[in-house]
């Protein structure tokens, strides 16, 4: 068994003494170093600064980022049955108006024209029959009854009235009006009193079902839709109140024309065959109008085919860049990769017809039967706008657009605002579209930054934001400084307007030229020395750009006080002054001009 060697007490004491000396020496070294640094590198300038209130023009701006998209892209759809022999352009090619972009089989064009002409002949035959179909010019009652409602007046458009009321008149056929109320203790056959417009009528409970009682009264003199109060015959008990309805109604309807005369009055009793009203302009029925439109569309198609046949090819209808080409037997159409707004034209090959918009957001390879050409005149950027700012902007408002890769700024216009809104993490965002003129170098997908001025403040009084002092309920500034006592004085309460990280707008309390005093924030001398010892210094967030000891350029970002100062509004909160990233982000900033 090994023996444990016993350490002498004197040896332990020596070890403790040596460790204590070393710790004391290290502490002394640190204290000396701090004192040396504080003495050698301390800022000997005054710790107080002053500034005069000055006048500047201010504005608040909404900013955001997005990506460029082509716009006003025209789609030229190939006519049915027209065969393409060869597409002579590719996606991305620049073309001029009138340039050949595809060669076609002329025989297929002739066949297509024959087909269109045949369809037009068929429609002409149908039109002949439809022109003989006329709506009745005289509307008569087919039964006896009483007129309870007239929804038209002289000159009324029949279609408009039918759309709104579903009828031109309402007749009562059985001589009764009805009122339905909660049954309570009412039973079928019970006699009651019904008061309408201050006049009392005798009523009878016709039926009781599913908790409702139907009471009938005469239709002579009682108005449709009037309030009807049902009571006991002696008037001591009220059962309920409801609107009067026709018990057995007949709707008088038509589908074309205008009213030239009305031959009856409300509450008039009529016999079978009675002329109720007369109409004119009833020659064309809805079917006739439909056929006319179909024939007009076919006429446009035929004109397109004649144009193609005469040209002997498909020609570009505008100058620009080819975005897609139609499929041929040996290939499939390919569209360019971009986020873009596309206008499609009705009618073949886009020669005629109105345009509508759609969106192409990625490269696709699929069957297609059309050319699309971008005119290269305009581009758009979509940015997200916070719910607190959306009402501050409007269509037609100007915006500054900076294209990051081009390092150029352009003036754009807000051309659309989508106020439908989307919610993310509890924050509602809206989309604004900004349109700019397209110049050389702009490509779909390029990143862009947008600034929209929402409020301007002319001739504002501003001071350094460091001069503000906050009591919790108000703000004040110091206007004097005693050199001997090194004390600030002359407290003046001020009202604060907008501010960013550098300047604050003062709306009350100061005039231009008033001097304010404040204590400048200082850097800890020891930290300054340590930063120097570490060579280059970098900063981020709210630090100044840090250069090297010899005054090299900074690598950190400082909150910008001038054009870019302020706070960001991203996500559901506000954070420092860092810029947002990704597409369609936005923030609000205060700017001094």
pLDDT along the chain (593 residues), means of 10: 47 51 56 49 64 89 88 87 90 92 91 91 83 72 95 91 92 96 94 95 94 96 95 94 95 87 96 92 65 87 90 91 77 42 34 34 54 92 86 89 92 91 82 93 92 86 93 93 91 91 91 92 52 42 32 33 33 34 48 50
For residue 79, the model assigns a pLDDT of 86
**Using CA of residue 243, residue 248, residue 250, residue 251, what is the dihedral sign?**
positive
Domain(s) labelled CATH 2.40.30.10 in the chain stretch across: 174-247
How many whole angstroms separate alpha carbon 13 and alpha carbon 195?
Answer: 117
> What angle do helix axes 525-533 and 9-41 make, rounded to 10 degrees?
100
For residue 179, list its beta bridge partners.
215
CATH number of the domain located at residue range(s) 174-247 in this protein: 2.40.30.10
For residue 76, the model assigns a pLDDT of 84
For residue 428, the model assigns a pLDDT of 83
Architecture of the domain delimited by 378-519: Beta Barrel (2.40)
For residue 290, the model assigns a pLDDT of 81
Domain(s) labelled CATH 2.40.30.170 in the chain stretch across: 378-519
| 333 contacts: CB under 8 Å, gap ≥ 6 | 324, 325, 326, 327, 365, 366, 367, 368, 370
The CA distances from residue 533 to 314, 543, 549, 552, in Å, are 73, 19, 9, 15
DSSP secondary structure string, 223-250?
PTT-EEEEE-TTSS-EEEEEE-EESSEE
């Amino acid at each position: 068994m090994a023996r444990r060697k016993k350490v002498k007490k004197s040896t332990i004491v020596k070890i403790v003494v040596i460790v204590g000396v070393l710790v004391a020496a290290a502490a002394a070294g640190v204290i000396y170093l701090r004192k040396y640094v504080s003495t050698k590198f301390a800022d000997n300038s005054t710790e107080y600064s002053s500034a005069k209130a000055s006048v500047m023009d201010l504005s608040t701006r909404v900013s955001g980022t997005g990506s460029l998209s082509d716009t006003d892209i025209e789609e030229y759809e190939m006519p049915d049955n027209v065969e393409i022999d060869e597409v002579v352009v590719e996606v991305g090619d620049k073309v001029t108006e009138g340039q050949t972009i595809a060669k076609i089989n002329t025989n297929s064009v002739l066949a297509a024209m024959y087909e269109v002409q045949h369809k037009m002949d068929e429609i002409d035959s149908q039109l002949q029959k439809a022109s003989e179909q006329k709506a009745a010019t005289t509307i008569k009652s087919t039964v006896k009854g009483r007129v309870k409602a007239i929804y038209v007046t002289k000159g009324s458009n029949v279609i408009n009235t039918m759309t709104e009321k579903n009828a031109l008149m309402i007749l009562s056929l059985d001589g009764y009006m009805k009122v339905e109320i909660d049954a309570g203790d009412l039973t079928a056959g019970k006699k009651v009193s019904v008061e309408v417009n201050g006049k009392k009528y005798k009523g009878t409970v016709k039926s009781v079902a599913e908790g409702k009682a139907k009471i009938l009264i005469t239709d002579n003199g009682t108005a449709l839709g009037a309030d009807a109060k049902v009571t006991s015959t002696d008037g001591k008990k009220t059962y309920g109140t409801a609107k009067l309805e026709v018990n057995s109604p007949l709707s008088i309807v038509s589908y074309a024309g205008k009213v030239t005369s009305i031959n009856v009055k409300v509450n008039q009793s009529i016999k079978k065959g009675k002329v109720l009203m007369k109409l004119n302009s009833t020659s064309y029925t809805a079917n006739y109008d439909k056929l006319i439109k179909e024939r007009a569309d076919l006429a446009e198609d035929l004109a397109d085919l004649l144009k193609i046949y005469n040209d002997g090819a498909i020609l570009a209808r505008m100058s620009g860049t080819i975005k897609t080409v139609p499929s041929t037997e040996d290939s499939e159409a390919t569209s360019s990769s971009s986020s873009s707004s596309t206008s499609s034209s009705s009618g073949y090959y886009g020669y005629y017809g109105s345009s509508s918009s759609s969106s192409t957001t990625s490269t696709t390879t699929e069957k297609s039967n059309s050319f699309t050409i971008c005119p290269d005149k305009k581009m758009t950027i979509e940015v997200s706008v916070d719910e607190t700012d959306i009402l501050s902007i409007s269509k037609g408002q100007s915006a500054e657009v900076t294209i990051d890769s081009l390092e150029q700024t352009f003036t754009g216009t807000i051309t659309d605002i989508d106020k439908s809104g989307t919610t993310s993490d509890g924050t509602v965002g809206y989309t604004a579209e900004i349109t700019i003129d397209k110049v050389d170098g702009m490509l779909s997908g390029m990143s862009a930054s947008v600034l929209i001025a929402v409020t301007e403040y002319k001739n504002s009084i501003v001071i350094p934001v460091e001069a503000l002092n906050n009591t919790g309920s108000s703000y004040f500034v110091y206007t004097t400084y005693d050199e001997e006592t090194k004390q600030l004085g002359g407290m003046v309460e001020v009202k604060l307007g907008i501010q960013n990280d550098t300047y604050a707008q003062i709306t009350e309390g100061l005039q231009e030229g008033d001097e304010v005093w404040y204590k400048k924030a200082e850097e800890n001398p020891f930290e300054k020395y340590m930063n120097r010892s570490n060579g280059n210094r970098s900063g981020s967030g709210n630090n100044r750009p840090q250069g090297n000891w010899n005054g090299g350029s900074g690598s950190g970002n400082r909150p910008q006080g001038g054009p870019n100062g302020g706070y960001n509004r991203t996500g559901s909160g506000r954070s420092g002054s860092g810029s947002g990233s990704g597409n369609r982000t936005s923030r609000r900033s205060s700017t001094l001009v």
